[in-house]
Chain A
Amino acid sequence: MRHIKYTEQAFFKFLTGFACYSVIGILCLIISIIFIKGVGSLSWEMISQAPKGGYYYGGDGGVLNAILGSLYVAGGAVLIAIVLGAPAALFINSFLFRYKRLQNIIRYFLDALWGIPSIVYGAFGFTIMLYFGMNASLLAGIITVACLITPIMIRSFDEVLSTIPTGLHEAALSLGSTRTELAFKVIFKQGLPGFVTAILLAFGRGIGDAASVLFTAGYTDQLPSGLHEPAATLPLAIFFQLSSPIPEVRGRAYSAAAILTCIILAITLISRLLVNKYSKNNLK
């Protein structure tokens, strides 16, 4: 009997461990392949210059246009998504508290929006763009990506808010807080790590998405120069270069992928550090 129990325990330990480590392993594999293939073409020039003539045939230049374009598109979209998402999440969570059915229906729709493939958002953005007579531009890209990530933002904020116990609300109110003080002095602080994670999740999805910016942001070898000008993005830079027959250019696609990965890692790391530091300062 004891023996069976022991075997069972060992088996499950193995199973869960295997699942966990294989996911980590695959992730490491992906990242290392990208870096190994990309390191050859990775250079200072790559991240400090826009493509020059002949870049796509192996000539001089880099992908600064796409790096900046991606940061602008994702950054702009995240800002819009926060501005729309934070109040929306608050509304769903507190004001719809009484109307459980409506609350669930809205959550269901937002979850469905989360699952829609991004090319659909791209096509939607493209239609809207044509309707307003706009050209492919940074602004159109930002708006389309904002549509893509706002549902993610709302639902993640909503989930964070749901984890904050009612008892904490009651405690803060009974000490004499107004609703505003409750929101900013207590809920915001309590939920901060969760909110940052939500923003990162949305940013990661936004900066890594190719299909939504394909028709809307366009592509250009110029550095982004204005909201109404087209802008290059990293996912498209990877896509175009990977489809090249020239091995050197394909190598650059991997370095562009490595750069994209580094940006996401760096932003994750910095925001984690900021959260930690902020929470610590909080306690002074």
Chain B
Amino acid sequence: MYNNENVILNQCPNTGKDSLNAISIRDLNVFADKTQILKSLNIDIPKHKITVILGPSGCGKTTLLKSMNRLTDLYKALEVSGQICIHGEDILLSHKDMSALRQKTGLLSQKPYPLPVSLYKNITYGPKLKGIKNKKILDKIVTRQLKEVGLWEEVKDRLNASPDCLSIGQQQRLCLARGLAVKPSIILADEPTSALDPTSSQIIEKQFMKIKKTYTIVLVTHVVRQAMRLADYVVFMHNGEIIETGGVEIFKNPKTDQMKEYLINGN
């Protein structure tokens, strides 16, 4: 349904290997029926950094995140237009291989949703879809990913158990491990600690700080303190619009009234 000439005219901003940006978003608009949820967003998300998308509930953070791996397709009411370039490719255009596209990004949602299979199979689900069948390789992946999220010591004796026997915090780390197992380059995290106790939240935050060397992390949160702890780059949203962007210094010197107000209320 798209115009081929447009593709050539609106070339993708550079998000390839040599670029500093992992994701470039240009003129992103999302409509739900007739209301506009996201209003002409332009964002460049830096590689191997934590980009925090901050804003009050209902401002469109989740919708923005879901557009980045086309989960918006699930909601027929949503109409997405514009450009989202990942690895030099506009993902809003490509209709070919959604699996491959989604495997470039790992998703961590507000609540953990473990698959209805064992801990082991939760981790191997993605790699198996990629065609990895060798038991030894799968074993290695499971060990490596569980260690990466600090869950290995807690579950190594019961890899065949159901995820139901884990606490919510452990389940969330399992979901992170499961997402990392498909070797994405980008992690999309939607308020990943909002359902967790402070200790579990801290563990997840620590994991993020640890893995940002190798992954680009986009973290959605409405918690100012969390944003201050983790952010390398901040995108402040309000009502479907980007109000302010910048490095951590914008917490000290917010330019806009909305951001000032939000920071005051959030602290």
Contact = CB atoms under 8 A, between A and B. Distances in A.
Contacts of B182: 175-176
A93 to B, nearest CB: 13
A167 B111 contact: yes
Nearest to A186: B115
Interface in A160-218: 165-178, 181, 185-186, 189-190
Interface string B153-187: 00000001110000000000001001100100000
Contacts of A170: 66, 71, 74, 107, 109, 113
A282 B117 contact: yes
Contacts of A98: 76-77
A283 interface: yes
Contact of B129 (A97, A169, A175): A175
A3 interface: no
Interface string A81-105: 0000000000000000110000000
B162 A175 contact: no
Interface string B56-81: 00000000001001010010110000
Given A173-B74, A175-B182, A189 B102 contact: no
Contacts of B125: 172, 175, 185
B118 A283 contact: yes
Given A168-B113, A171-B175, A189-B117, A97 B76 contact: yes
Q: State which size class the interface on B falls in.
A: 20 to 34
Given A98-B76, A283-B160, A283-B162, A174 B116 contact: no
A284 interface: yes
B182 to A, nearest CB: 6
Interface of A: 97-98, 165-178, 181, 185-186, 189-190, 282-284
B118 A174 contact: no
Main secondary structure of the interface of A (DSSP, over half): helix
B113 A284 contact: no
The 5 closest A-B pairs by CB, nearest first: A174-B107, A98-B76, A283-B118, A176-B103, A176-B99
Interface in B116-168: 116-118, 121, 125-126, 129-130, 160-162
A174 B115 contact: no
Contacts of B20: none
B118 A167 contact: no
B105 interface: yes
Interface of B: 66, 69, 71, 74, 76-77, 98-100, 102-103, 105-107, 109-111, 113, 115-118, 121, 125-126, 129-130, 160-162, 175, 178-179, 182
Contacts of B111: 167
B205 to A, nearest CB: 21
A176 B115 CA distance: 13
B129 A177 contact: yes
A260 B77 CA distance: 50
Contacts of A168: 113, 115
B102 A169 contact: no
A168 B171 CA distance: 13
Given A169-B74, A284-B160, A174 B105 contact: yes
Nearest to A189: B116
Select the residue from A97, A171, A172, A177 with max chain B CB neighbours within 10 A.
A171
A206 B195 CA distance: 45
A172 B115 contact: yes
B130 A176 contact: yes
A284 B182 CA distance: 21
Contacts of A173: 71, 74, 98, 102
A194 to B, nearest CB: 12
Given A98-B76, A283-B161, A284-B160, A176 B102 contact: yes
B98 A178 contact: yes
B103 A175 contact: yes
B106 to A, nearest CB: 7
Given A176-B100, A176-B182, A171 B113 contact: yes
Contacts of A166: 74
